Homo-oligomer: A and B are copies of this chain.
Amino acid sequence: MANFKINDKFWTNYQNIVSEVMLPYQYEILSDSLDDEDLEKSHALRNFKIAAGEEKGEFYGMVFQDSDVAKWLEAVAYSLAINPSKELETKADEVIELIGRAQMEDGYINTFYQINSPDKRWQNLQEDHELYCAGHLIEAGVAYFEATGKTKLLETVKRFADYIDSVFGETKREGIPGHPEIELALIRLYNVTDDKKYLNLANYFINQRGKNRRFYIEESEKRGGTTTFGMDPKNTDYSQATNPVREEKNAIGHAVRATYLYTAMAMSAGNSGEEELTQACKCMWDSMIDRQMYITGGIGSSFHGGECFTADYDLPNDTAYNETCASIALIFFAKEMLKITNEAKYADIMERALYNNTLSGMNLAGNRFLYANPLDFDPKLAETVPIQSHIKKERPKWYTCACCPPNLARLIASLDRYTWHETKDILYSDLFIGGIYESEKMKVEIITDYPYYNSVSYKIHNADRISKLALRFPQWSENTALKQNGKEISPTMESGYAVIDIKNGDEIELTPDITPKKVYSNYNINGNLGKCAIMAGPLIYCFEEIDNGENLNALQIDAAATPKSVDFEDGKLSKIKAVKISGKCLKQSDGLYSLAPPSSQPVELTAIPYYAWGNRGKCRMKVWLVER
């Protein structure tokens, strides 16, 4: 099996934060050990104890509270693989034991139903996330087995999956999960167990979607119309259950639901090689990436209507939802698309989502989190103005619906899985992260200070069984140089990759152009008209009030100006590079409207990477500024 040991200035720091800060912090929250009245209560582990009959009490939290524990366990698994920790492993083992004790005789696990209404399982697939929680538990079981070799949780989730398989299927009970997740989890379970029934069940859930548009209505009628969230059983769009997956033309509905589903579709297509399903995945990808994605890699523009896609080009900056989980799911989907297409455009977007909207989901210290990631933030309007009610004034310590923080932890801790992919003949370098990659076919060392420096060096230690290396030429770099053993080469380009023949001992250096650039928006995006943003390498930049004076709205970028990268000297944002560009500061006018055009004076503007915004107190932030 391939292994990539990350050793990278940028990412090793993040991975250490996950191991040393995020996971211990999140354990304290899940176990209700923190005495802090500003903190949303979790109660997630206690739910398991109550379900196991070891404590008395009531279920507390979201109907999918269990999944916080599952995602934490999965993240711990990845963390243990990179930063072994007796303490974390002991805690994880205890949690795994607890889950085992809470599991029912037939294999079922869901503390909400076990505590509240054990006889009402599977009656509200649209709203109640039983299969979603099962999926996360399965992913945790698979990951923990892969990381530690321990089989306890894997066995637990296999029993659960076996039970689910006994319930749902063509000849059994009909089931269309309201929140996709079980599908990709079952395929992961198939990948480690080689048991086809899990793949078949995943494919059943994928293929069943949209076949019976009345499914949620029927289950609602059967249970007498009771509802958990007040969701409309007729609203199948929200759960991507309107059309069969091969017939849908647009990415619609809840963005995380959608992207988890598309990930599973791509995994299934990767397994079967089915062209029609691959095409359906590409269609969903294009719908998101070509028409519904923010420049930061954020997707799902609207909180109102439910964390969802809305319409092509409807990408407002201030009310943007851009759930952190949705960007993470986009990375999952991108990785699967990479594996089935070997096209660099999927890695380009994976990188975009990773370095921008995803990392924006946490503070630099790793103990504050964002759910919604706006591109135009005004603390005076956040939470107050009704259509900005979802925009937090600052990153909170935790959430009632806490899906994003453990999702960040599991992604960052497993980043090695997103950096490379192999085909029979070619090793693909998808992300530029330092470390040592080693598989049965090849050993490569990568040295880089990316994303702030543009040299990416590859040393080939072992290429005995594979002779081609494919290096992504990033789409944002108009001029990427490539040297092999010191000599510039003009490689064969294949779908965005430079594919080169290599041999043991080769030294290859890739240098994309990471000088900062202005970026312009398709004019269909209403909120970006007349504006530009700044990008340097994979990093989208933003302007914060703290660096640019009191009113960001007064600032314009000069049309003739060129952005310049500079070292940034703010202790709170160590290790970043800022961008400077000349601009204008408008003078305040009297009243709301005036016949006189605003006058202005020249200023130098400072932008910092978007992922680092909001780390220096509440202050206004903008990605797009007027260019004139």
Binding site for B on A (CB under 8 A): 289-291, 293, 295, 302, 304-306, 308, 310-311, 314, 316, 318-319, 376, 378, 380-381, 384-387, 389, 476, 478, 517-527, 529-533, 551, 553-554, 556, 586, 588-589, 591-598, 626, 628
Q: Across the interface, do B589 and A526 meet the contact criterion of CB distance under 8 Å?
A: no
Counting from the closest, the 7 A-B pairs by CB-CB distance are A305-B386, A530-B626, A304-B386, A530-B530, A310-B385, A523-B553, A522-B592
* Best-buried of A476, A522, A591, A596 by chain B (most CB within 10 Å): A522
Least Cβ distance of A572 to chain B in Å?
Answer: 27
**Cβ-closest chain B residue relative to A523:** B553
In the bound complex, residues from chain B placing their C-beta under 8 Å from that of A594 are 519-520, 522
Closest chain-B Cβ to A355's Cβ sits at a distance in Å of: 15
List chain B residues, Cβ under 8 A from A531: 529-530
Q: Are A598 and B520 in contact (CB under 8 A)?
A: yes
- Interface pair B381/A592, CB less than 8 Å apart: no
Assess whether A302 is in contact with B592, with CB atoms less than 8 Å apart.
Answer: no
Q: In the complex, are the beta carbons of B522 and A588 less than 8 A apart?
A: yes
A290 to B594, CA, bound (A): 12
- In the bound assembly, the distance between CA atoms of A29 and B458 in angstroms comes to 77
Closest to A589 in B: B522
A302/B386 in contact, CB under 8 A: yes
Minimum CB–CB distance from A530 to chain B (whole Å) comes to 4
Having A304-B387, A314-B385, A530-B628, one finds 16 other A-B pairs with CB under 8 Å, namely: A304-B304, A304-B389, A305-B385, A310-B385, A311-B381, A376-B526, A378-B526, A518-B595, A520-B597, A521-B593, A522-B588, A522-B594, A523-B586, A523-B589, A524-B551, A529-B530
Q: How far is the CA of A525 from the CA of B530 in the complex (A)?
A: 15
Whose C-beta in chain B lies nearest to the C-beta of A529? B626
Tell me how far the C-beta of A540 lies from the nearest C-beta in chain B, rounded to whole angstroms: 9
- B553 touching A319, Cβ below 8 Å: no
Closest-CB distance, A309 to chain B (whole angstroms): 10
Report B-chain residues with C-beta under 8 Å of the C-beta of A524.
551, 553
Bound CA span A595–B518, Å: 6
| Contact yes or no, B520 A290, CB < 8 A | no
A306 to B378: give the CA distance in the assembly, Å. Answer: 22
Collect the chain B residues with CB atoms within 8 Å of residue A378's CB. 526
User: What are 12 A-B contacts with C-beta separation under 8 Å?
Assistant: A293-B592, A295-B592, A302-B386, A316-B318, A319-B387, A478-B595, A518-B597, A519-B595, A521-B592, A527-B527, A530-B628, A532-B597
Complex CA–CA separation, A556 to B529 (angstroms): 9
In the complex, the answer to whether B386 meets A596 with C-beta atoms within 8 Å is no
Chain B residues near A384: list those with CB within 8 A.
Answer: 310-311
Instruction: Write out the residue numbers on chain B whose beta carbons fall within 8 Å of the beta carbon of A319.
Output: 387
Min CB gap A231→B, angstroms: 14
Distance to closest chain B CB from A475 (angstroms): 9
Across-interface contacts of A302 in B (CB, < 8 A): 385-387
A386:B526 contact, CB within 8 angstroms = no
Give the nearest-CB partner of A302 in chain B. Answer: B386
Q: Which of A314, A519, A533, A589 has the most CB of B within 10 A?
A: A314
CA distance A476 to B595 in the complex (A): 8
Shortest distance between the CB of A542 and any CB in chain B (Å)? 15
Contact indicator B523/A595 (Cβ below 8 Å): no
Which residues of B lie under 8 Å from residue A386 when comparing CB positions? Answer: 302, 304-306, 308, 310
Chain B residues whose C-beta falls within 8 Å of the C-beta of A551 in the assembled complex: 523-524
Distance, CA A311 to CA B382, complexed state (A) = 10
Q: Chain B residues near A593: list those with CB within 8 A.
A: 295, 519-522, 533
Q: How far is the CB of A306 from chain B (nearest CB, A)?
A: 8
Q: Are B385 and A520 in contact (CB under 8 A)?
A: no
Most buried by B among A291, A304, A523: A523
Most buried by B among A478, A530, A596: A530
Chain B proximity of A600: nearest CB distance (Å):
10
Contact B311 A522, beta carbon cutoff 8 Å = no
Q: State how many angstroms separate the Cβ of A386 from the closest Cβ of chain B.
A: 3
Name the B residues within 8 Å of A293 (CB-CB).
Answer: 592
Complex Cα spacing A523 to B553, Å: 6
Q: How long is the Cα–Cα vector from A16 to B527 in the complex, in angstroms?
A: 41
Q: Is the CB of A592 within 8 A of B525?
A: yes
In the complex, what residues of B have CB within 8 A of residue A305's CB? 385-386
Take A302-B385, A385-B314, A518-B597 as given contacts and tell me if A290 and B592 are in contact as well, using a CB distance cutoff of 8 Å. Answer: yes
* Chain B CB within 10 Å, residue with most, of A306, A520, A551, A588: A520
Closest chain B CB from A537 CB (angstroms): 13
Closest Cβ of chain B to A87, distance in Å, is 44
Q: How far is the CA of A256 from the CA of B527 in the complex (A)?
A: 29
Complex formed: what's the CA distance from A310 to B591 in Å?
A: 18
Most B CB within 10 A of own CB, among A290, A310, A529: A529
CA gap between A295 and B380 in the complex, in Å: 22
Chain B residue nearest to A378 (CB atoms) is B526
Most chain B beta carbons < 10 A, residue from A295, A376, A378, A385? A385
Query: Please, which residues of chain B bring their CB within 8 A of the CB of A520?
Result: 589, 593-598
Given the interface contacts A380-B311, A386-B305, does A522 sit within 8 Å of B295 by beta carbon? no
Task: Determine the chain B residues whose CB is within 8 A of the CB of A525 once the complex forms.
Answer: 592
Q: How far is the CB of A534 from chain B (nearest CB, A)?
A: 11
Q: How far is the CB of A597 from chain B (nearest CB, A)?
A: 5
Complex Cα–Cα for A518 and B305 (A) = 37
> Is B517 a contact partner of A595 (Cβ separation < 8 A)?
yes
B-chain residues with CB within 8 Å of residue A316 when the two chains form the complex: 318, 387
